[in-house]
Amino acid sequence: MPELPEVETIASALRDGGRDAPSIIGGRISRAEVFWDKTVEEPSVVDFKRRIVGQTVKDVGRRGKFIIITLSEDTMLVHLRMSGDLLVGEGDIPLGKYSRLALFMEQGFQLSFNNARKFGRVWLVADPAMVTGNLGPEPFDLRLSALEFHRLLQERKRQLKPLLLDQTFLAGVGNIYADEALNLAKIHPLTQANTLAKKKSAALLDALHEVLQEGIRRNGASIDWVYQGGDFQNHFRVYQRTGEPCLTCGTPISRIVVGQRGTHFCRKCQPSPRSV
């Protein structure tokens, strides 16, 4: 599933222009087509098409793994899930092989939601908090200091890896960047969150910042989904490197399953929590 860096990359391209396409800011929607009704989570497809036509794109941003498209009256939110991507281009034929929804602009271009596995969803709401209200803080939120992060960890008697994937705890982090950050901070993924000392909590927050910033700089990672714009996959420390040498100590990278998610770590650099 695309995570914060991949979603940020797509949102930035939609807002500023990129990926060989223009910015969608200022585009006025003249026609909306929905090719698979379940794509639209809210409202009904009929209401979605009625409400969105005539609205103008004012801004594009991100909240967690959601792309937030601010319109002149409503807000459209897109969650890409496993295989979604947003394509911008010209013409009346929907872009991409698996277009599930397309917005056609008066200016002659379109925004098409390409969604091969049909897991992605779209919302059109008056208030984006109706969809994102339960999300935790953003990793880069200035209010999320090392001290505040430590306090939040102390309140959770949960293993760190699944906690980092919990979007109500921290918004935007997924399997790739959780593994990478835990390795960089030298913390075992099964460590109980409430047992971390302040120094280790600060190290984990710093590591999250570092791997997410690097992911954004490299336009995200391109792994097993439609979006193929990034190269962070060529710079992984542990993710999907099972059996390969740790970049720090040379120990073969291990893989275990935590909360039904493949989890990669170095047994030497990230010692078992029993010995921490």
Catalytic residue among 58, 158, 261, 268: 261
Q: For residue 100, which of 48, 44, 35, 46 has the smallest C-alpha distance?
A: 35
Q: Cα–Cα distance between 109 and 137 in angstroms, integer?
A: 35
Exposure class string for 99-135: b at 16+ Cβ within 10 A, else e: bbbbbbbeeebbbbbbbbeeebbbbbbeebeebbeeb
| CA count, 13 A, side-chain hemisphere, 111 | 31
What letter represents residue 147's amino acid?
L
Q: What is the 3-state secondary structure (H, E, C) of 10-55?
A: HHHHHHHCECCECCCCCCEEEEEEECCHHHEEECCHHHHHHHHCCC
Please confirm, yes or no, whether 200 is among the known catalytic residues: no
> Which residue in the list 51, 63, 65, 161 is annotated as catalytic?
65
The dihedrals phi and psi of 97, each to the nearest 5 degrees, come to: -75, -25
Q: Choose, from 3, 6, 138, 180, the residue flagged as catalytic.
A: 3
Catalytic residue flag (residue 3): yes
Measure the CA–CA gap between 107 and 79, rounded to whole angstroms.
25
Give yes or no: 148 in active site. no
Q: What is the distance between the alpha carbons of residues 257 and 244, in angstroms, rounded to a whole number?
A: 18
Find, among 36, 24, 29, the residue nearest to 101 by Cα. Answer: 36
CA distance 203 to 183: 11
The verdict on whether 81 is a catalytic residue reads no
Catalytic residues: 2-3, 65, 261
